[in-house]
A and B are shown apart, each in its own frame.
Chain A
């Protein structure tokens, strides 16, 4: 079972609350996805307003809330948002997003590392959104990130896992859970991430903008489960060459 910062998750699919056409559809889709952690943009909600359109339909007994700092352009902005979120009852969990480039929304590695270091010291459970850079993943882990969230492709692009080779290295090296975040546009992308050994995936856009978000949420849930099962059962490996038997072993020198 997946454990992040001591919290156990039976679903390895994390959801989001952006881009849905209505709050009711969002609620149904999240329900159908079976996810147990959902991220909400701090800029989008009023955490302490019970009448907030998003907060009012999130059952916090059922879902762990993962506020995110979407929109922050540097570490200082992200840190300020995080402190504000906690003061407003948002809890200790934080998806750290520092995206200075409004066009690609790619994460700033330098500011993300700096903010992670500060926020961990303040007791936040920090899950940083990051480019799929293996060394950055290790640096974030070393300053106390509870998990790392490398992107498959730029957020909202539905391009799937364009960073496969890098993510494989991160999965191999990291001591903390690896959650593939951003760019997963189809259930097959999520399944691939899980087959590769990712600990979880976060999917928002692909579900929110689907023709039928509720059915798509179910499809992602199944894909994540299938991918994980495949990973755990030990995938048959692609053989690069057959076992050639050579008359000369090359080891004749052995006594």
Chain B
């Protein structure tokens, strides 16, 4: 089986947008099986005037496929130590921040707080420094936590297929690994040193996680680095390719926008709320089954307004510094969050819109392996 994903250069992807006319957008909106051309139409400048129609279509598809529900999760930051030098990230090795690596006991205590607050789905996050935070740690932590949580996801350094298989066995159900940008030149430009400079290895990571048996794999792009329209098209290509190769795996897509962070990086190509919304609607119309994440990077006004329009999963009550749940004064966050509300407040906002906040939508029992 050919398991190497490849995609055209960004200038080639741009060509898709040149020929799009309004009629292409109308066709794409109501296509029963939208293809890549339709996705291009929905991401194009010509679609901007159709944003309300896209929102309605996206909402209709989302309701039909997922119902009137929003799943909730919280990130748990394990370590801010990172060997990579990435221009946009607060954890970048050059930044003079207070670094912290949680011990197993500390990580468990943080998880316990999230559990008490009502979270059943948590995302374990770590900077890339395998010597201080490696597979052994993730495995031990998963074994400690799996009975308390419905599902455990990881967003850590890219691992090998065998390592993912090990973690799956220990109770990790899903893996998120974002390419950050599919623009190969900008990727080189913002990843200055460290293992993350190997674009190709990172690009192949979602496939490794899926082939290791992970139930869900998340891909994404950090918005603000490259042209968001081409980024959306590349994400769509990657998603469609992954679906063909790994039909047993569920997929999610995330589009985090660059937030203020240590290092003072400013977006190279700013992405507005309108742009972000267009991207969410386009991906939803392109792939009715994909899970779409909207994190606390965005402000409450925007997150509330977007409920039901395409996203299916919200984080809430997030802290992006290791140890930050036990000690809210912890310094050294990865980025500044935009929505500081608690889980209960976010749940109320979801209910106020006529949607059900879902805190548990999986059970670790599915994955009990014989000891």
Q: How many residues of B contact A (CB 8 A)?
A: 26
Contact with A along B106-144 (1 / 0, CB 8 A): 000000000000000000000000000000000000000
Q: Which chain A residue shows the least CB distance to B306?
A: A253
Kindly state whether residue A22 has any CB partner on chain B within 8 Å: no
Kindly state whether residue A250 has any CB partner on chain B within 8 Å: yes
CB under 8 Å from chain A, chain B span 239-296: 243-245, 247, 272-274, 277
Decide if B55 touches A251 in the complex (CB within 8 Å): yes
Report chain A residues within 8 Å CB of B31.
Answer: 237
Decide if B302 touches A253 in the complex (CB within 8 Å): yes
CB under 8 Å from chain A, chain B span 42-71: 50-53, 55-56
B210 CB → nearest A CB, Å: 13
Kindly state whether residue B188 has any CB partner on chain A within 8 Å: no
Decide if B27 touches A249 in the complex (CB within 8 Å): no
Q: Which chain B residue shows the least CB distance to A138?
A: B247
Decide if B26 touches A249 in the complex (CB within 8 Å): no
Report chain B residues within 8 Å CB of A251.
Answer: 51-52, 55, 277, 305
Interface centre among A173, A237, A249 (most CB of B within 10 A): A237
Decide if B52 touches A250 in the complex (CB within 8 Å): yes
Kindly state whether residue A1 has any CB partner on chain B within 8 Å: no
Kindly state whether residue B147 has any CB partner on chain A within 8 Å: no
Partner of B273, one of A172, A238, A250, A254: A254
B228 CB → nearest A CB, Å: 15
What is the CA–CA distance of A241 and B245 in the complex, to the nearest angstrom? Answer: 34
Kindly state whether residue B30 has any CB partner on chain A within 8 Å: yes
Q: Which chain A residue shows the least CB distance to B37?
A: A234
Kindly state whether residue A175 has any CB partner on chain B within 8 Å: yes
Q: List 10 A-B contacts (CB under 8 A).
A: A175-B244, A237-B27, A237-B31, A243-B50, A249-B51, A250-B52, A251-B277, A253-B304, A254-B277, A254-B302
Decide if A250 touches B304 in the complex (CB within 8 Å): no
Contact with B along A207-245 (1 / 0, CB 8 A): 000000000000000000000000000001111110110
B324 CB → nearest A CB, Å: 28
Beyond A250-B56, A255-B301, 19 additional contacts (C-beta under 8 Å) are A138-B247, A168-B33, A172-B33, A175-B244, A237-B31, A237-B32, A239-B30, A241-B30, A243-B29, A243-B53, A249-B52, A250-B55, A250-B309, A251-B51, A253-B304, A253-B305, A254-B273, A254-B277, A255-B272
Report chain B residues within 8 Å CB of A236.
Answer: 27
What is the CA–CA distance of A251 and B53 in the complex, to the nearest angstrom? Answer: 10
Kindly state whether residue A246 has any CB partner on chain B within 8 Å: yes
Decide if B273 touches A246 in the complex (CB within 8 Å): no
CB under 8 Å from chain B, chain A span 134-164: 138
How many of chain A's residues touch chain B, expressed as a range?
A: 20 to 34
Decide if A253 touches B55 in the complex (CB within 8 Å): no
CB under 8 Å from chain B, chain A span 161-177: 168, 172-173, 175
Report chain B residues within 8 Å CB of A138.
Answer: 247
B162 CB → nearest A CB, Å: 21
What is the CA–CA distance of A243 and B50 in the complex, to the nearest angstrom? Answer: 9
What is the CA–CA distance of A174 and B30 in the complex, to the nearest angstrom? Answer: 23
Nearest first, the 8 A-B pairs at minimum CB distance are A253-B305, A249-B52, A254-B273, A138-B247, A239-B30, A255-B273, A237-B31, A175-B244
Report chain A residues within 8 Å CB of B272.
Answer: 255
Decide if B247 touches A253 in the complex (CB within 8 Å): no
